[in-house]
Amino acid sequence: MEVSVVITAGGSGERIGGVPKQYRMLGGRPVLRHTIDVFARWAPGCRMAIVVPHGDADRVRLMIEDSPVEASIVDGGATRQESVLKGLRSLSASGVPSSSVVMIHDGVRPFVTTVLLDRVMTGCERFGASAPAVGVSDTLREVRDGWFGGTVARGDLYGMQTPQAFRLDRILKAHEDAAVAGLEATDDVEVYLRAGGRVEYVEGSAANIKITTVEDLELAEMQLTRRAGR
């Protein structure tokens, strides 16, 4: 089945300070370029919509000018949810088949593996939607007014990751409906579930980290060094 990709890279860099995290250098290349390259290797020729902050399009075009990817650079919205909708609209307008699979991925998750992409793709092909997640291992406890409260059972709790995969027509409609209703969600699975869809769980990976802080960037450098040493 044909696959396309929406890569969200609209962060402003507030949490990491200075240069936005998607443009920070990691092993001599921007974090975002690492992420793009993973998909380019996994699905050569796949159509991408790379959603970036307003005014950054030329910067990203320059970043990928030596890459074989077929990509549209899309101005992002005020929220991640709005940015994803713009990316989905761009793919649909470019002629991507409505029944094909679209993967929505955080631009600052550069260590997603082809093995994980295969798992997510297989799940989406079987059930129409799938997403990776990892079980929570830490003890979870409520904090109220600065004091610890009760422990939260963690047996059924999972930390969501990307890419999250759907049929293009279904997730586009779910996002369009959410925008009309003024609904806000933290990820695309929530948007899809609110629209009445079902999403298959796929085993995620602890290595599939999301870079949001300076500490995450340092961890990413160590992870990249370990991979290079193999």
Secondary structure in 3-state letters for 33-48: HHHHHHHHHHCCCCEE
Q: What is the pLDDT of residues 72-107, one digit of tens each?
A: 999 999 999 999 999 999 999 999 999 999 999 999
Q: How far apart are CA 197 and CA 106, in angstroms?
A: 22
> What is the residue-wise DSSP string for 106-122?
ETT-TT--HHHHHHHHH
Q: Is 87 in contact with 171 (CB distance < 8 Å)?
A: no
Coil vs helix vs strand at 55: coil
pLDDT of 12 reads: 59
Q: What is the CATH number of the domain that holds 164?
A: 3.90.550.10
pLDDT of residue 196: 97
CA 141 to chain centre: 28
Q: Is the pLDDT of residue 66 over 70?
A: yes
Where is 5: in which H helix or E strand?
strand 3-8
Check residue 16 and give its pLDDT.
Answer: 57
Where does the pLDDT of residue 11 fall: very low under 50, low under 70, confident under 90, or very high at 90 and above?
A: low
Give the dihedral sign, CA 9/18/205/111: positive
Q: How far apart are the C-alpha atoms of 181 and 227, rounded to whole Å?
A: 45
Number of domains comprising the chain: 1
Overall average pLDDT of the 7-27 stretch: 80
pTM: 0.94
Instruction: Report the pLDDT averaged over residues 10-29.
Output: 79
Lowest mean pLDDT among 11-20, 90-99, 136-145, 196-205: 11-20
Three-class secondary structure of residue 17 per DSSP: coil
Q: Residue 25 is part of which domain span?
A: 3-228
Give yes or no for residue 50 having a pLDDT over 90. Answer: yes
* DSSP codes of every residue in 56-113: -HHHHHHHTTTS--EEEEEE--SSHHHHHHHHHHHHHHTT--TTSEEEEEETT-TT--
Comparing 204 with 226, the larger pLDDT belongs to: 204
Q: What's the pLDDT at 124? A: 97
Q: Kindly report whether the peptide bond that precedes residue 163 is cis, defined as omega within 30 degrees of 0.
A: yes
